[in-house]
Amino acid sequence: MRQTEAVVRLRRHTAAPAEEPLDVFCDELLIGPGTDSADDIALLVARPVPPS
């Protein structure tokens, strides 16, 4: 499967804040790639928690 340039950019952008709290991570996703786009943006983010 060939990845589009946008998907490659998104993967690169999400690597840096991946360990941040979810609210910070989501803010970074919306601030970065979304600023130069006319497209709508929707996020569904989940971070699995190891069983205790």
Q: Hey, what are 39's tokens?
A: 């497209």
Instruction: Give the span between the Cα atoms of 34 and 30, in whole angstroms.
Output: 5
Task: Report which secondary-structure segment, H or E, holds 27.
Answer: helix 22-31
Answer yes or no: pTM beyond 0.95.
no
pLDDT band at residue 13 using 50, 70 and 90 as cut-offs: confident
Instruction: Give the span between the Cα atoms of 7 and 9, in whole angstroms.
Output: 5
Tally of CA atoms within 13 A in the half-sphere of 24 that contains its CB: 6
Q: What is the pLDDT of residues 14-45, one digit of tens each?
A: 888 888 888 888 888 888 755 666 777 778 88
